[in-house]
Amino acid sequence: MPLDPVPSGPGAPAASGASPPEPEAVAEQVFVALADPTRRAILAALASGGPATATDLAGRLPITRQAVAKHLALLTEAGLVTAEPGERRRVRYRLRSAPMRVAQQFLAALARDWDDRLDALTRHLNQE
Amino acid sequence: MGFPDRIERVVEIAKPPAAVWSALTTAEGLAAWFGDKATVDLRPGGSIHMTWDESDDVAHMRIERIEEPSVFGFTWAVSGLPEDDPRRTYVEFTLEPTGTGTRLSVVESGFAQLPADIHEKAHGGNTEGWAHELGELVAYLDAA
């Protein structure tokens, strides 16, 4: 599944270059990236094992180096990984966590679950 | 904008505000409906610690506002962010007496707060901790 490179979400300001991206647009990029199993595997490998080259990653995942490189390019464009300067084929990719934190805040709001908690509070008080 | 900054709920409870206040602000009360165990140091700046028997989850709340028996507010960490992350959400309970009991409102705000420079901090110092958290995020999405 191809990643639309950096979809500018509805409501996102026209690309001015200087203004910081809208949080929702950042979160959307994270969710789009994570919707693909190969990209999840790449990000998980970088998260658990630290920075790695495309060749390293191809050795650890059931996909070719070319496929890894294609996904890394898209993830770089979306700001989810950064390439560390290096000789060709020895460029190491590093997870860039800032967009994940933005997405995590979105998930945190969904997961707070006040409905269940307030139900529990009401049940508790009605038992007394 | 779809990014939620606040959660707001109102419930009607058939008990007087004093009973609801006790459920929100005492260790016994909180342990009965929220956590499994709780400790409470009930003063502005004081802490509430809650744990759950069946998980490693721990909640540390910092009490911000106490106006018995009508307003109780605390901040706590955003799920998935480190406990010492400055970005915390604020939870405020408001209790109003009604003819038959209490109208309880809860507002949790601050989910969308974001320092302007966060996008520039590509190489933050806590990459290690986040490597762990990402695994949980991925697992969460895989399970969804």
* Residue linked to tokens 């094992």: A49
What's the mean pLDDT when you consider all of chain B? 83
* Residue linked to tokens 């989850």: B57
ipTM surpassing 0.90: no
Whether the CB-CB separation of B100 and B107 falls below 8 Å is answered with no
In the predicted structure, residue A123 carries a pLDDT above the cut 80:
yes
In the predicted structure, residue A82 carries a pLDDT above the cut 90:
yes
* Residue linked to tokens 């009607």: B12
B-chain residues near A118 (CB < 8 A): 9, 11, 104, 106
- Read off the pLDDT band of B74 (50, 70, 90): very high
Question: Which residue is closest to A84 within chain B, CA to CA?
Answer: B123
- Read off the pLDDT band of A2 (50, 70, 90): very low
CB contact under 8 A, B135 and A27: no
The pLDDT tens digits for B130-141 are 444 545 555 656
pLDDT of residue B119: 42
Cα distances from B100 to residues A120, B12, B13, B18, in angstroms, run 19, 9, 8, 13
Name the more confident of B27 and A89.
B27
- Read off the pLDDT band of B2 (50, 70, 90): low
Separation in Å, CA of A22 to nearest CA in chain B: 10
- Read off the pLDDT band of A13 (50, 70, 90): very low
Residue at B141: amino acid letter: L
In the predicted structure, residue B114 carries a pLDDT above the cut 90:
no
pTM of the model: 0.73
Q: How many inter-chain contacts (A to B, CB under 8 Å) are there?
A: 138
What is the arithmetic mean of pLDDT over B44-64?
Answer: 93
Residue environment code for B20-31, b if the CB has 16+ CB neighbours within 10 A, otherwise e? bbbbbbebebbb
Separation in Å, CA of A104 to nearest CA in chain B: 7
In the predicted structure, residue A59 carries a pLDDT above the cut 60:
yes
